[in-house]
Amino acid sequence: MNTVSSFQVEIQSVSKSFMGKQALCQLNLDFLPGKMHGVIGPEGAGKTTLFRLMAGLLRVDSGQILFKKEGKILDFEQVRPKMAYMPERPCLYADLSISEHLDFFSALYGLTSTDYHAIRQRLLKITRLEEFVDRPAGKLSGGMYKKLGLMCSLLRSPEILLLDEPTNGVDPISRREFWDLLYQLREQKVLIMISTAYMDEAERCDNAHLLQSGKVLATGAPQELIQKENVKSISDLFIKKAQKEIAGEPNG
């Protein structure tokens, strides 16, 4: 997969509510091309809502989401074929093996036989799942299950990748291996947006966007944010910003 992405996503004053409860409130974010962006926050921060809006599964109540390539604004239908979305719990079939899943999604995406087999071998190699191609998804470990979900998403060689809490509930070794996969994708200039509640994972990203109750607490390069706020970690930064938000103090 030799993708060179120049896609950019701008979130402009986006709000979304469900049954009168505000999920996102006047959200402004900028996801820059070819970067790994971490959307960081606890449960209820609005991460999944944001990802579903970007994936076209929900509509904004107000504001807009702009997709750009080389500075040109594109319609979502132009972007959709270049995007892959992996929900927190990938929708896999327990009785189908790894191999059968890859065959199924290949047919779904309309890949040619030549392209499919080349991508398949590459993905199996980097995920280290070659030896388990006949194992049903229902019998995979949590980490292997997430890797299979990622492979199914990557079959179409996306230029925009939305990963909603892909390491949630995964053991530390599998988490590290999953991040190794993401680093390889970043080298191919894929625009990666990954949501997580793990504060330490924010520091693995090029840019971190901290959310709390549907609002942006801070956004920028992790180490720059840490230095600017004179704290030791993103976790400390989050606590500091969240306390200011609760107290009604400006969070600039």
pLDDT tens figures, 5-28: 589 999 999 999 999 899 999 999
Name the CATH topology of 7-91+159-247: Rossmann fold (3.40.50)
Spatial distance between the Cα atoms of 184 and 175, rounded to a whole number of angstroms? 15
Q: What one-character DSSP code corresponds to residue 231?
A: -
- Type of residue numbered 30: D
Domain spans of the chain, in order of start: 7-91+159-247
Residues 175, 177, 180: CA angle, nearest 5 degrees: 110
N residues, the chain: 252
pLDDT value at 112 more than 60: yes
Interval 196-224 mean pLDDT: 94
Spatial distance between the Cα atoms of 181 and 107, rounded to a whole number of angstroms? 24
Spatial distance between the Cα atoms of 230 and 235, rounded to a whole number of angstroms? 12
pLDDT in tens, 69-111: 988 999 999 999 999 999 987 789 999 999 999 999 999 999 9
pLDDT value at position 5? 56
Measure the N-to-C terminal CA separation of the chain; round to a whole number of Å: 40
Q: Which residues contact 140 (CB under 8 A, 6 or more apart)?
A: 98, 132, 148
Element (H, E) at 225: helix 222-229
| 20-23 CB contacts, 8 Å cutoff, 24+ apart | 22/213, 22/214, 23/49, 23/214
Helix (H, G, I), strand (E, B) or coil at 135: coil
Q: Which residues contact 19 (CB under 8 A, 6 or more apart)?
A: none
Element (H, E) at 103: helix 98-109
pLDDT in tens, 134-191: 999 999 988 889 889 989 988 988 999 999 998 887 888 888 888 888 888 888 888 9
Tokens of 69: 């390539």
